Amino acid sequence: MPANFESAIAHIKSLYPDEEFIPLHEPKFIGREKEYVADAIESTFVSSVGAYVNKFEGMMADLTGAKFAVATVNGTAALHMALLVAGVKQGEEIISQALTFVATANAISYIGAIPVFVDVDMDTLGMSAEKLQDFLSSHCELRNGFTYNKVSGRRVAACVPMHSFGFPCKIDEIAAICAEWNIALVEDAAESLGSYYKGKHTGVFGQLGTFSFNGNKTITCGGGGAIVTDDEDLAKLARHLTTQAKVPHAWEFNHDMIGYNYRMPNLNAAMACAQLEQLPRFVENKRELAGLYRDFFSSVGIAFQTETADAQANYWLNVLLMQDRGERDAFLEVTNKSGVMTRPAWTLMHKLPMFRDAQHDGLQNSLWIEDRLVNIPSSVRIA
């Protein structure tokens, strides 16, 4: 085993001394989770209507600075709904990134839209504004105020950048480009709760932003998601669609659109509220961990990914960049065999059979990152 691998394993174990096996990211329940969940049970409102759903939506709006928040059953459902209320139609195109979790591309497919993938920046691991502009300038044109792909002939209806591993991408530049081309901007902020770019929380730079509260996220309620927006009409539509598009009435069941059973249950919202109360403490703790990792890995010659000057990242999952795929695979093998959970980046979307025919821009940086990226244990270290 190379000396720097051995010392890396020893260092990670020293940061989690009470763990026989060190997971990649485990939840911490150190607040009022049990109290709030018990209260929700006592209220008998355990499904998609209840005081904690309303409280959670208010807390999310306050945290992000958005005017409105809509609680959903998970982050994928949030993104699906956000794209739907943004006006994307079946057969239209959505520009996203290939370096992302499959849920991003799946949500695009739920509408019957077609994903197009552009490259990421090396310093953010998120969508490159420069590559987005290059793609639009080279392959698209404005017709009657809308953007069309000259290759496929389809309208480009939306853009979905993702803040990879909690590192904010250059979202203000992306927003400006989308405005220039009249493309709806929907942020996939699933991994970036508690992350800020130029003083603004992620998720609020476009028409809509979406978040996830899956079990491996910075805070969790088992599942759960949220949509945030400043547009009251979009928020009302999202809330309507996620509750089966039921027309409000004391006893009648009338529905005026195709709806979805996508609202967050009150039980999950109760846990989410308690977790949100701990978010500042969790993010502070995770940023402290990132600093310890940064100092150590710089001393042993392994590249550690850090936030850009304009960003304040939550460091959801800490990122190493190895020399090449061979070194990456060797590190993955020895760490996991030693009881330290590590994992590579997701398989790039255009390599999956469902999206193999998707148009892309070559994805040079994404391919380089895929060969080298390793996520290392990033759990909050609070007993």
Inter-residue contact 378 to 289 (CB < 8 Å): yes
Instruction: Indicate the domain borders of the chain.
Output: 3-28+278-347, 33-276
Residue 283's CB is within 10 A of a number of other CB atoms, namely 23
Q: What pLDDT is stored for residue 382 in this prediction?
A: 81
| Side chain identity, residue 46 | V
- pLDDT of residue 164 exceeding 70, the answer is yes
- pLDDT of residue 1 exceeding 80, the answer is no
Phi and psi angles of residue 47, each rounded to the nearest 5 degrees, phi first: -95, -140
| pLDDT tens-digit readout, 350-363 | 999 999 999 999 99
| pLDDT tens-digit readout, 273-311 | 999 999 999 999 999 999 999 999 999 999 999 999 999
Q: What pLDDT is stored for residue 383 in this prediction?
A: 62
- pLDDT of residue 83 exceeding 70, the answer is yes
Q: What is the mean pLDDT of residues 37-44?
A: 96
Architecture of the domain delimited by 33-276: 3-Layer(aba) Sandwich (3.40)
| pLDDT tens-digit readout, 317-374 | 999 999 999 999 999 999 999 999 999 999 999 999 999 999 999 999 999 999 999 9
Sign, Cα dihedral of 43, 47, 52, 55: negative
Q: What pLDDT is stored for residue 217 in this prediction?
A: 97
| pLDDT tens-digit readout, 118-136 | 999 999 999 999 999 999 9
- pLDDT of residue 41 exceeding 70, the answer is yes
CA angle 294, 298, 301 (to 5 degrees): 140
Q: What is the mean pLDDT of residues 90-116?
A: 98
Distance of CA 368 to the CA centre of its chain: 21
